[in-house]
Structure 1
Amino acid sequence: MLELAGQAARTNNTKLINDWKNGLLVYKFALDEVNTKLEILNEEFQYIHNYNPIEHMKSRLKSPESIIAKLRRKDLEVTLDNAREHIHDIAGIRIICSFTTDIYKIMDLLSRQSDVQVLKVKDYIRSPKPNGYRSAHLLILIPVFLSDRVEQVPVEIQIRTVAMDFWASLEHKIYYKFDSEVPESITDQLKDSAELIDLLDKRMLAINEEVQDYKKDDPSILPIIIS
């Protein structure tokens, strides 16, 4: 009897996960839509300005297991409706740029598109988090055209420089290793490193702007192309 009960539980759990995967398919389509928009913008800059503001992009879709766990942490009933209403980072895209000016350029170009609705902007570059974290976050709504309806789907977009991304990746690994209980000496070093990375970003931007000034005076100087 116990074995039959265990099999039934596993079968129900598998069915639940499959139902969630089907219900969340629209978020995958939303990622496809936003990725296409960003790729078009980047290609346009390459052809017209001989310059790529986007170094690379990474998309991710939260797994049903991760969404269910987050709902439980929020003390919410585990339903698809609650997931759609209360969890806004099911679909996410991370954009890595060369310079901070590229970040704001992408934010502006994307938010001005007629079918993109910006719900929220968090600028952790101008106002970093206390631990030193820097990045720009956008929460947008994007229409997904299905066979029988149009759905407005939220997508979270994080935009940061290569240096910011390096810091964020290292910080994430450290917090995971220490189970979020990071020694103060290490958090202090991380914050100091964030300041150094901010200085590096500003210096690299200044160098790039100086190169552009030289290019105006001497057209034979090739632009810095980031691909």
Structure 2
Amino acid sequence: MNIDIVDIQKKYEKNFNDYEKFANFLKERLNYLFLINNFTPAKFETRVKSIKSFIKKVEKKYPKYKDPFHDITDIIGLRIITYYNTEIDDVIKILKDNFEIDYENSSDKENLLDYDKMGYISVHYVCKFCDNNNSFPYKFEVQIRSLLQHVWASIDHKLRYKTYIEIPKQIKRKLFRLSALLEVADSEFTSIKEEIEMLEKFYENKFDNKKYNLRIDISSINYYLKYNNDRIKNIAKNFNIERFKSFESAKLDNLERKLLHFLLKTNRHFIYDLDDFLNIIESNQSLIADLLDNEIIKKLSIMINSSCSFLIAFIILIDLEIDRVKKILNLTETQLLKILKLRETLNSLKCRDIVIKK
């Protein structure tokens, strides 16, 4: 064998730190590219081929690799796992837009199995990073899979390649049947994602244009709160309520069902009913503050830390049975009379508005 393994090993050991530095650089670079392209991988990892693995590949493929440091393209490897199979195309576009592609050593998604075959579809891109300031001499290989493809490939590798036995055909057939099922599941997950996105666009269009003729449900409430979060936060500030979570953080409290319960209980069945209620509070902030004392506001503020809890608290204050309000807020008789006075005043204003509109 005309190959100096010792010399190759020494050279690889000498280069190893540079390989690791480049792998770390690539990880940072790709994370940045993912961020600006609004892509979130299910998993992203880098690795440098171990010395043992590199030497083993050189020996196994000899004399194919005359210059192993140039010819072996996966010394530095990246694995990008996507949630959906359609996102593989998004990753490929990011690679093509930002790196030089060695197409001769890459396998594209278009090289699919025949229609009557089953198995793992491999997507590998061999790339090189170049810009105006730097040109790194190392190529690297990017492996791209969907999460379900990754599950199948990992288990298949563990079962078939980590054993000394020859796997019988009927067992191989079982493995490939599973790959077909996972391929169907991959497509179904993508289809479900697209249906959800269509629903999101429907709600976004409605709320962008303030078309509030939507039935009250969890989805419509969530979008109303999202689109009116800053508005409600500003109203709350005028009542000296400063403790206010961000919309995304408050959503974790799962108060939307409680708000839904109170809205339906108070005969509000459409989003425009909810918006009318908020308009009443917004238009009469000074009146509400004047008719209630600071102690009542303080008791309300304990209940409020988000736009959702704000609406719940004010529905309780303005619309809930007075005995329940007294119990929930632990009110004195004097405070109870103030709330009754507030309700009477707001009702008269509502009635007057109805007459004016007519």
Same-fold status (TM-score > 0.5): yes
Residue 142 (structure 2) aligns with: 157
Q: Which moved more, 1:192-201 or 1:81-90?
A: 81-90
Residue segments in structure 2 that go unaligned for 5+ positions in a row? 1-5, 208-218, 224-358
Counterpart selection for 2:174 from 180, 183, 189: 189
8 Å contact kept, 1:131–1:190: no
Quickly say closer, same or farther: Cα 1:157–1:77, change in 2 above 3 A: closer
Shift of 1:143: 4.2
Q: Give 1:20-169 correspondences, 5 Å limit.
A: 20-46=12-38, 52-76=39-63, 82-113=67-98, 116-120=99-103, 121-123=106-108, 127-128=112-113, 132-143=119-130, 150-169=135-154
Shift of 1:61: 1.0
For 1:106 and 1:211, the matched residues in 2 are separated by: 22
8 Å contact kept, 2:107–2:124: yes
Shift of 1:180: 7.0
Shift of 1:16: 7.2
Shift of 1:56: 1.4
Of structures 1 and 2, the one scoring higher in RCO (CA 8 A, sep 6+) is 1
Q: Give deviations 1:61-111, integer Å, cap 9, x for gaps.
A: 111221111111122499xx8221221111101111111121111110221
Quickly say closer, same or farther: Cα 1:177–1:151, change in 2 above 3 A: closer
Which has more helix, going by share of residues?
2
Q: Give deviations 1:169-194, integer Å, cap 9, x for gaps.
A: 00110123333722111111111111
One-letter amino acid of the structure 1 residue matched with residue 158 of structure 2: K
Which has more strand, going by share of residues?
1
Q: Kindly, what percent of the aligned residue pairs are identical?
A: 23
Quickly say closer, same or farther: Cα 1:71–1:180, change in 2 above 3 A: farther
Larger Rg: 2
One-letter amino acid of the structure 2 residue matched with residue 58 of structure 1: E
Shift of 1:168: 0.5
8 Å contact kept, 1:93–1:156: yes
Q: Secondary structure at the match of 2:121?
A: coil
Residue segments in structure 1 that go unaligned for 5+ positions in a row? 1-12, 47-51
For 1:186 and 1:144, the matched residues in 2 are separated by: 49
Shift of 1:197: 0.7
8 Å contact kept, 1:118–1:139: yes
For 1:88 and 1:17, the matched residues in 2 are separated by: 17
Shift of 1:142: 2.0
Residue 340 (structure 2) aligns with: none
8 Å contact kept, 2:78–2:142: yes
8 Å contact kept, 1:96–1:161: yes
Runs of 4+ displaced beyond 4 Å: 15-19, 143-146, 220-223
Q: Secondary structure at the match of 1:58?
A: strand
Q: Secondary structure at the match of 1:173?
A: helix
Q: Secondary structure at the match of 1:54?
A: coil
